[in-house]
């Protein structure tokens, strides 16, 4: 049975978004009273494409993938991210249904915040609203860059960039376990499982990385950065 905590206290939460620090005690109470904490296991959907938008979701901890099924019924990974981060904000304000899915890539804790409470805070706290805009803007600009790189870079450069992203942002270390299958890794950089397998083999032979199942150890980050930058 899923672990649900309807009475979790935002005030005592150790992991907070930077936006929360702009709320006073009364506003924080509103946020807490409108929030429900849910724990998701690896591979569970947190948001499902095509369902009604009712909540803002704050990922407290865990790694997630944002993905969208296109017109030919093919899944595309739009983004890999980790908590703490808000997800689903644009959809709640712009659409009646979610235009994409969000899936947990490892055990994840998420807070579901009722839209009415979130909207009230944005309407009545300018600093809170401004921080939301700043956060969303940075995310959009970053995603534009990712989309262009995915279309224009060679596959080995995109693969290198993805490994650096996992190393420097997601895990913050040079040895980690890839949270994606090879099919998903292909979806992430725009290629096939077979091509991912070949690139991994070539990088291993060249002593750029060391691979043991899903565990990857970066042996030569300098070369990896050169390949990524070369495009």
Residues 86-103 pLDDT 10s: 888 888 888 888 999 999
Q: Which domains does the chain have, with CATH numbers?
A: 4-142 (2.60.120.10), 153-230 (1.10.10.10)
pTM (two decimals)? 0.86
Given a cut of 80, is residue 111 above it in pLDDT?
Answer: yes
The packing angle between helices 155-165 and 126-152, to 10°, is 150
Residues 186-229 pLDDT 10s: 989 989 999 999 999 999 999 999 999 889 999 999 999 999 99
| Percent residues over pLDDT 90 in the chain | 50
Which residues, in sequence order, are CB contacts of 49 under 8 Å at separation 6+? Answer: 68, 69, 98, 99, 100, 101
Average pLDDT, the chain: 87
76 or 107, which is more confident? 107
């Amino acid at each position: 049975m899923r672990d649900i905590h309807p009475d979790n206290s935002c005030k005592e939460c150790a992991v907070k978004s930077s936006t929360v620090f702009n709320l006073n005690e009364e506003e924080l109470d509103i946020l807490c009273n409108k929030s429900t904490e849910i724990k998701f296991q690896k591979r569970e959907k947190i948001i499902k494409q095509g369902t009604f938008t009712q909540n803002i979701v704050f990922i407290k901890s865990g790694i997630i993938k944002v993905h969208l099924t296109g017109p030919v019924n093919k899944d595309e990974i739009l983004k890999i991210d980790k908590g703490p981060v808000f997800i689903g904000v644009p959809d709640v304000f712009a659409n009646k249904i979610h235009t994409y899915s969000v899936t947990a890539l490892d055990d994840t804790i998420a807070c579901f915040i009722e839209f009415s409470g979130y909207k009230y805070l944005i309407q009545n706290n300018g600093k809170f609203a401004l921080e939301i805009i700043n956060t969303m803007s940075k995310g959009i600009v970053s995603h534009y860059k990712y989309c262009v790189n995915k279309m224009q870079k060679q596959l080995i450069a995109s693969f290198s960039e993805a490994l650096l992203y996992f190393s420097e942002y997601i895990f913050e270390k040079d040895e980690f376990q890839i949270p994606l299958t090879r099919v998903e890794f292909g979806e992430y950089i725009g290629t096939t499982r077979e091509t991912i397998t070949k690139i991994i083999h070539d990088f291993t032979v060249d002593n750029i990385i060391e691979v043991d199942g899903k565990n990857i150890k970066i042996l030569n980050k300098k070369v990896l950065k050169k390949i990524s930058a070369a495009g």
